[in-house]
Amino acid sequence: MQIASVETFVLKVFHDEAYLGDLPDGSEVPAGYQVRAPWRSLYSRRFETLLVKVVAEDGTAGWGEALAPVAPEVPAAVVDLLLAPVLRGRDARAPRPNWVALRDLMRERGHLVGHQADALAAVDIALWDLAGRLRGESVATLLGGAFRGRLPTYVSGLPRTTDAERGALAADWAARGARGVKLHLGHGVDADLATVDAVRAAAPALRVAVDAHWAYGPAEARRLAVGLAERGCWFLEAPLAPEDEEGHVRLGARSALPLAVGETLRNRWEFARWLRSGALEIAQPDVARTGVTEAMAIAELCAGAHVPVAPHHSVGLGVALAAGLHVGAAVEDLLVFEYQPTSTEVGQRVLRTPLEVRPDHFPLPAGPGLGVDVDEQVVRDLAGKD
């Protein structure tokens, strides 16, 4: 069974609540791309992503998604110009050989990361979905079987602008059954610790983790890590610049709090280096940036290093979420899966049947492939395609 066609869909979906909520001063996020201080990255007011549809010669389709929160047109061009021509005519039931062939196209030119990797991830997810549908088996089954049918979660982000509001929202999540929460901070060490105190006071049963969004230098990161450890927090994510492997090694050696890293890393070689140096204690690969094939290779490296996996998930829609859940189910040592309530709500729009969501876990989607039914007409409408 050969691959007949590959099609890309650039989506920019508006929702009444922006990803991570309003700006710190309480104002609405403006249209377009902007840096949301104190964070340094570009963000969009809309939920932007790239969906890829790969069709076999019998008409069976598999869907994939890239984590492309800004300029999804860029990985779409990579798929259209570089990957699709090579894929057409290849075996539709062989995702791993197809992945290797696509990975090697630009590897010697230094394009194994960034937008090229995002494009590869979307196609790889679609290839696994397609193979599962053709074989009548789930992606988790194709990966060797699921270790679990329920994936434990933490609620990511309390999108409010004051500590009192964040505390109230944390208490609400705890009342609904959530077990943990991750705060998106980086507003200064004292301010961050005050937010943690407010959330812990309002919802003492919740485990609390902090994402510092690469906002700190070594001295501030050490002070934050000490303060979080004293408060019995869960883990500290992304405290230092994403390229600073040695800085994370030094911080981890001085911190009683586990450091979580991984959303910026795209492949097994990057993760292997960070694992060898001891620069991370919790690995956070994002399947919509690694693809299924590479995510499983990363998970095996982590298992060998006794490092648990806590998959990253942010603004991806329902396809990326389903792919992450299948990988998370097949990972030997899963710590927890990231649950973004607003992104999950928006992401359901492209599915005919919504994914089941619980405050403390995701059930593994059932059915062949990714176990989701993409509403192609909705996707075409959102992408502006006939």
355-358: long-range contacts, CB 8 A cutoff, minimum separation 24: 355/318, 355/321, 355/322, 355/325, 358/153, 358/177
* Domain locations along the chain: 3-138+377-383, 142-370
pTM of the model: 0.96
Tell me, what's the pLDDT at 41? 82
Per-residue pLDDT of the chain (386 residues; tens, 9 = 90+): 999 999 999 999 988 877 766 777 777 777 788 887 787 788 888 899 999 999 999 999 999 999 999 999 999 999 999 999 999 999 999 999 999 999 999 999 989 999 999 999 999 999 999 999 999 999 999 999 999 999 999 999 899 989 999 999 999 999 999 999 999 999 999 999 999 999 999 999 999 999 999 999 999 999 999 999 999 999 999 999 999 999 999 999 999 999 999 999 999 999 999 999 999 999 999 999 999 999 999 999 999 999 999 999 999 999 999 999 999 999 999 999 999 999 999 999 999 999 999 999 999 999 999 999 999 999 999 999 87
Q: Which residue bears the tokens 């989701």?
A: 372
- CA 192 to each of CA 209, 259, 296: distance values in angstroms, whole numbers, following the listed order: 11, 16, 34
Specify the pairing of strand 180-184 against strand 61-66: unpaired
Helix axes 318-330, 114-135, angle to 10 degrees: 70
Task: Work out whether strand 236-237 and strand 3-13 pair parallel, antiparallel, or are unpaired.
Answer: unpaired
- CATH fold, domain 3-138+377-383, is Enolase-like; domain 1 (3.30.390)
Burial class (CB in 10 A: 0-12, 13-18, 19+), 239: buried
Under CATH, domain 142-370 is a member of which superfamily? Answer: Enolase-like C-terminal domain (3.20.20.120)
